[in-house]
Structure 1
Amino acid sequence: MWTSLPSSSLRVTGTDRVDFIHGQMTGDLRRAPTPGVVPCAFLNVKGQIEFFSRVYRRQGDLYLHLSAGEAEALQARLKRYIIFDQVELENVTDTLSTIHVWHEAELPGWDAAGADAQQFELAGQTVLGGRVNRTGKAGVDLHYLSKDENDVKATLTGPERSLAELETARITAGIPDVSADHFQGVLPQEIGLDVGGPLPAISYRKGCYVGQEIMARLEARGNTRHHLARLQGELTPFSEVTLDGKVVGQLGAVANGLGLARLRKEIGDGQEVQAGAGTATVQRLSTNA
C-alpha cells in the first residue's frame, strides 16, 4: 500500500551546511550517518514549534522534507541567520515528490534490515528513502524526481490508498503531525516529540540552537503542563477542548471519531470533555508518563 504525500522541500549545499542546519534544529545532525535522517523541529526563541522536518544527510547536500507549503517560509527564516556561513538554500518543491509506502517490505530495492536512510535504484533513477512510522508500523517515505512519477508508481506493489486513509491510520496509532494537527506554536514535549514519545525529535546532548535554553529548562524540570492524548467521540477538528467551561487543551485533525489533542495532564483516562460542540472521552496514550 502506498499514498502520495503533499510535501515541500529544501536542498542545502555549501561547506558549512551541516554545522549551520545543526545549529537551527532540535535533532543532532552532526552524529547522523551519511546517508541518514533526523526528525526535528525548528523553534522560536520561546521554544515553540515553527516547523517540523525530517532532515536527510547525504553526500554533498542536505534534504529537508516538510509538509506542503512550508519550504518557502522555512527558507526565509534560515536566510535570516546566514552571516558568514558558506550555505546555499534551494526550494526544490517543484522538482521532487514523495510517496509513503506503508510497509517497508513492499518497496522494491529497499533493504528492510538496513539503515533508516537509503539511496537506491528504482525505475531507472536514484531515489532516497527514509524509514518513517506514519501508521503504527515502519514504512518508507520515498523521495524521487517528479518528472519520473509515473515510472516510480508503476514499480510499487499493492493498492494506492488515499491521504484520508493514511490520516485515519496515523491518528488511530497515536502519532502526531505538527502541520496536519495545527500544533505549531506549542512546545515539542507537549505533543509527543520528546525522547520516548511517539515522534521523538529532540536531542538534549547537542549544542545551542534557537529555543535550546527553554528545552534545557524543561529537561531539568522534567515536566510540562500538557501532553499528547487521544479523544474519541463527537469531535470538531482543531477546536478548543474544555472541561466545565475551562479550556484544557486543543484538538488536532479528526478521523472516524478519533483525534489527537494537546491536553492538560491532570485530565484522566476515561474522563469526558467537550471538543467543540460534542462530548469526547479521553484516551491516555501508552507513550505518555
Structure 2
Amino acid sequence: MTETTASLLPYLGVLKVSGEDRASFLHNQLSNDVNNLPIAQACYATYNTPKGRVLANMLVLNTGDELWLIMSADLIEAIAKRLRMFVLRSKVTLANASDSLGVASNIVPTDEDYALPEVPPLLLNAELNDGVWRIALPHEGVLCVGDISALPAHNEKAELQWRSHEINHGYPWIRAANSETCVAQMLNQHLLGGVHFRKGCYPGQEIIARAQYRGQVKRGLVMYGSNQLVEAGEKLFDDAGEEVGVVINAIPQAMGSLILAVVKYSVENERLNTEKAAALDFKRRFYTVAEEAQ
C-alpha cells in the first residue's frame, strides 16, 4: 500500500469572513456563486480588479458559521484591506486567521498524468473530522484546514511533493509577486471551477465574460523545466528579447526548477529565458486545443 504524505503548507493562509452578510458580500466580490455555496462545501474563486486581472485565487470553504478564504499567505493582508473598502454598511468582519488556522496537504504521491476536468467542478466536498476540514480536490489531493495544533508538522519534502503535484496537474496559486498579471482564463480558472458565468456582477466580470465568449485570451498555462532556480513573478522572454510570459509558481528540484507559467500561445514550444537568463524547456501545456485556435 502506498503511503500518503502530509505537511503543513506555510505558503497558504486563511482569511476568515464572518457576519450575517458574509455570503452576499463575497458573492458580489468574487467570481464564484458564494450565495449558493452549501455548508461543508468549498469552491475555487478569484478576486479581480475592475480590469479583470486576478488579485488572488482561492478556495472558499463554508464552515456554517463562517466563510474561510484559503489563499497565498503573502496576499491575505492586502486582500483583506481591499475587501474592507467595500464592506460599507454590510455586517461583515474579515480577520487574518493564519496565526491559529493552518493549511496542510495530504496526497498519495504519483507520477500519473491527470487530465483537466471535462466539466468545471463548481462544488467540492469538505468533511469535518477532529476539528480539521478535509477538502477533496479534483486532482485527487486533499487540502486540510484547521487549528495548526491539529495538523501535521511542516515537512519540506512532503510540501515539495504537494507543490510538484499541483504544478504537474496545472493548479496555480497567485502570489504577491505576480498578482494582477493575468486574467482568470490565463490561469485556467474557468476550467478548474473558479468562475461561475451565470452568477451576476463582480469586479472584472465584464472583462472575464468577454474573454470567454469572444476568444480574446492569447496566453495560457504551461509547465516548464529549468536547470537553474527560478522564482514566482519572473518575466519570460523569447530569443528576440520580447516579453512573452510570467512565472506563476516554481519549486526547486535536484537539477533546477519545475515551473508553471503563463505564456503566449505562439511561443509555448520555444526555449524561453527569464530576466536572470535561466533557460526554460517546454514540458506540457494546460490549455485546450479549442482555446489555442482562438
TM-score (norm 1): 0.80
- The CA distance in 2 between the partners of 1:180 and 1:69, in whole Å, is 6
What's 2:82 paired with? 77
Report SS of the residue matched to 1:70: helix
Task: After TM superposition, list the pairs within 5 Å mapping 1:1-289 onto structure 2.
Answer: 1-6=5-10, 7-103=12-108, 116-122=124-130, 126-132=131-137, 137-146=139-148, 148-149=149-150, 152-153=151-152, 161-179=157-175, 182=178, 184-194=180-190, 196=191, 199-235=192-228, 236-237=230-231, 238-243=233-238, 244-252=240-248, 253-256=250-253, 257-269=257-269, 271-275=270-274, 276-289=276-289
Instruction: Identify the range of structure 1 (66-75 vs 272-281) with the bigger mean alpha-carbon deviation.
Output: 272-281
| Cα displacement string for residues 54-93 of structure 1 (whole angstroms, at most 9, x for unaligned residues) | 1111322211112223322222111110122122222222
CA positional deviation for 1:170? 2.7
- The CA distance in 2 between the partners of 1:73 and 1:220, in whole Å, is 31
Q: 1:2–1:160: 8 Å Cα contact kept in structure 2?
A: no
User: What is the aligned-residue RMSD (CA, Å)?
Assistant: 2.6
Report SS of the residue matched to 1:266: helix
- The CA distance in 2 between the partners of 1:165 and 1:250, in whole Å, is 23
TM-score (norm 2): 0.79
CA positional deviation for 1:184? 4.0
Rate the CA distance shift 1:228–1:180 in 2: closer, same or farther, 3 A.
farther
Rate the CA distance shift 1:241–1:121 in 2: closer, same or farther, 3 A.
closer
Q: 2:7–2:152: 8 Å Cα contact kept in structure 1?
A: no
Report SS of the residue matched to 1:65: strand
Q: 1:72–1:91: 8 Å Cα contact kept in structure 2?
A: yes
Q: 1:55–1:62: 8 Å Cα contact kept in structure 2?
A: yes
- The CA distance in 1 between the partners of 2:176 and 2:77, in whole Å, is 18
What's 1:112 paired with? none
- Runs of 5+ unmatched residues, structure 1: 105-114
- Runs of 5+ unmatched residues, structure 2: 110-122, 290-294
Q: Percent identity?
A: 24
CA positional deviation for 1:22? 0.7
